[in-house]
C-alpha cells in the first residue's frame, strides 16, 4: 500500500473511532458530487452525519428567476449564451431546452469570453450572457463585462443571477431548525474570497469551518480537522486546501467583482430572500444589465408541486426522503433543479446510491 493510501486509511480510521454525535454540512456542489462518488458517506459511522447545503448555483436559483430568463429568450433577435447546466432546469412552464427546440437561439459556452466572440460576429443581434454562479465564476463575468465595455460592444449584456456564499451560510447557522456543528467550506469559492468571511462566521456562531479540497484524501482530512476542532471546543476557520487557497483569496479577482458588481438582495430556492447575497451590475455597467435593457419584470415565485428541493438545499431532508425521488423524479425526467444539475444533491444521490438504498 502506498504512503498516501495508508494516510487516507488512517484518517478514515480516526474518523470512524469518533464517538460524539456530529453533524457536518458541505456547501459546495462539487463536494456533494465528490462525496457521493467516493462513497465517503457510507464509510462514516452512524454518529457522524454529513448534510448537503445550498452549494449548487443552478439549484439555488429561484423559480421566478428561471421564468424570467425564459421570458427573455422569447424576445426577438436575442441570442442567449449560457453554461450548459442551465439548459434542462425546469421553469414553471418551460425550460431553455424546450425554448431552443421552439426556435430560440440559445448557445452553450464554456467561458463567458466566448459570448463576446458571438457578439462581434452577430452585430445585428442582441447577445445576452446568462451569468450564474458563486464567487468562483463572478470574476470571469466581471472581466468579460469590462472587456465588452472597453471594446464598445453595444449588443452585449449580462443577465446576472450571481450569488455570494457567506450570507447564505450566515442564514444556515442562524436557523434553529438546521443543526450543523461544522462546515466543510467550498474550495473554489474560497480561492477567490479567502478565509476571512469564514473567520467571521466561525467566531460569531462558535462553529468550526474548514476550506476543503476535492480529492477523497482532502475531504477526509477536512472532516478530521473539523472533528478535532469540535472535540477541543475550538471554532476556527482553517484551510485544508492549502495548495490552491491563499488566506486573502485572489485579490485581483475580488477587485474585479467589486468594480463591476454591487451586492443586492437575492432570492434563493429554499432559503428565501437573503440581503446582500446577490450581485447586480453597478451603475457604470447598467447599460449592459439585460434585466433593465430588455425590461424583464420580477416574476412570481411559483413552487414546483411536490418538489422538496428547498428542504434538500438546507439539509432538512436528504434526497431519498422526497416522495418523488427515484419515482416521478429521475435524472432523465427531473422534476426539480436538484435532480437536473450534475452536482445537485438529488442527482448525486441517485447516480451513486445503489437502487435498494434509494428509499
Partner 1 sequence: MCLGVPAKVIELMANEVARVDVNGNQTEISVRLTPEVKINEYVLVHAGFAMEIIDESIALETMKYLEELLQYE
Question: Which residues of the shown chain bind ligand SF4 in the complex (CB under 6 A)?
Answer: 307-309, 312, 319, 322, 324-325, 329, 335-336, 338-339, 346
Cell numbers at residue 99, please?
425554448
Scanning residues 98 to 137, which ones bind partner 1 (CB under 8 A)? 110-114, 132-134, 136-137
Residue 218 Cβ, how far from partner 1 at the closest point, in Å? 7
Smallest gap from residue 324 Cβ to ligand SF4 (A): 4
- Residues within window 273-312 making contact with partner 1, judged by CB under 8 A: none
Cβ proximity of 18 and 182 under 8 Å? no
CB atoms within 10 A of CB 24: 23
Contacted entry of partner 1, ligand SF4, none for residue 308, CB cut-off 5 to 8 Å set by kind: ligand SF4
- When binding is defined by CB under 8 A, the residue of 82, 256, 318, 353 that contacts partner 1 is 256
Grid coordinates given for 9: 486509511
Task: For the chain, report the end-to-end CA distance as a whole number of angstroms.
Answer: 36
The rounded distance, in Å, linking the Cα atoms of 191 and 212 is 11
**Which residue in the block uniquely carries the three cell numbers 495508508?**
6
Q: How far is the CB of 177 from partner 1 (least distance, A)?
A: 26
C-alpha cell of 257? 467583482
DSSP designation for 61: B
Distance, in Å, from the CA atom of 236 to the CA atom of 145, rounded to the nearest integer, reads 36
- CB distance 53 to 315 below 8 Å: yes
The answer to whether residue 188 forms part of the interface with partner 1 (CB under 8 A) is yes
**Of 67 and 218, CB closest to ligand SF4:** 67
Give the residue with the Cβ less far from partner 1, 175 or 215.
Answer: 215
Cα–Cα dist 262/281, whole Å:
6
Is 213:240 a contact under the CB 8 Å cutoff? yes
Contact between 32 and partner 1 by CB under 8 A: the answer reads: no
Residue ranges binding partner 1 (CB under 8 A): 3-4, 7, 10-11, 13-14, 17, 28-30, 56-58, 83, 85, 110-114, 132-134, 136-137, 139-140, 143, 186-189, 191-192, 213, 215, 217-218, 221, 224-225, 242-246, 250, 252-253, 256, 341, 343
Amino acid at each position: 500500500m502506498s504512503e498516501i493510501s495508508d494516510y487516507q486509511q488512517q484518517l478514515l480510521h480516526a474518523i470512524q473511532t469518533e464517538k460524539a454525535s456530529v453533524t457536518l454540512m458541505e456547501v459546495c456542489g462539487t463536494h456533494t458530487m465528490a462525496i457521493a462518488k467516493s462513497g465517503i458517506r457510507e464509510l462514516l459511522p452512524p454518529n457522524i452525519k454529513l448534510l448537503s447545503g445550498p452549494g449548487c448555483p443552478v439549484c439555488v436559483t429561484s423559480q421566478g428567476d428561471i421564468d424570467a430568463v425564459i421570458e427573455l429568450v422569447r424576445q426577438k433577435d436575442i441570442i442567449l449564451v449560457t453554461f450548459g447546466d442551465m439548459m434542462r432546469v425546469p421553469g414553471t412552464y418551460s425550460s431553455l431546452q424546450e425554448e431552443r427546440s421552439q426556435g430560440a437561439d440559445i448557445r452553450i459556452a464554456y467561458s463567458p469570453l466566448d459570448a463576446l466572440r458571438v457578439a462581434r460576429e452577430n452585430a445585428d443581434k442582441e447577445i445576452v450572457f446568462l451569468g450564474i454562479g458563486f464567487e468562483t465564476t463572478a470574476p470571469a463575468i466581471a472581466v468579460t463585462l469590462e472587456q465588452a465595455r472597453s471594446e464598445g460592444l453595444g449588443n452585449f449584456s449580462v443577465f446576472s443571477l450571481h450569488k455570494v456564499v457567506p450570507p447564505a451560510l450566515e442564514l444556515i447557522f442562524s436557523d434553529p431548525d438546521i443543526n450543523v456543528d461544522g462546515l466543510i467550506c467550498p474550495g473554489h469559492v474560497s480561492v477567490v474570497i479567502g478565509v476571512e468571511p469564514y473567520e467571521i462566521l466561525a467566531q460569531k456562531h462558535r462553529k468550526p469551518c474548514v476550506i476543503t479540497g476535492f480529492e477523497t484524501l482532502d475531504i477526509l482530512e477536512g472532516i478530521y480537522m473539523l472533528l478535532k476542532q469540535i472535540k477541543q471546543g475550538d471554532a476556527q476557520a482553517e484551510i485544508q486546501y492549502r495548495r490552491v487557497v491563499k488566506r486573502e483569496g485572489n485579490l485581483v479577482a475580488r477587485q474585479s467583482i467589486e468594480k463591476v458588481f454591487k451586492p443586492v438582495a437575492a432570492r434563493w430556492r429554499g432559503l428565501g430572500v437573503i440581503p446582500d447575497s446577490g450581485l447586480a451590475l453597478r451603475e457604470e455597467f447598467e447599460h449592459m444589465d439585460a434585466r433593465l435593457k430588455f425590461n424583464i419584470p420580477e416574476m412570481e415565485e411559483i413552487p414546483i408541486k411536490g418538489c422538496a428541493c428547498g428542504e434538500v438545499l438546507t439539509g432538512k431532508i436528504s434526497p431519498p426522503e422526497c416522495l418523488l425521488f427515484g419515482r416521478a423524479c429521475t435524472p432523465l425526467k427531473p422534476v426539480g433543479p436538484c435532480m437536473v444539475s450534475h452536482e445537485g444533491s438529488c442527482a448525486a444521490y441517485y447516480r451513486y446510491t445503489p437502487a435498494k438504498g434509494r428509499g
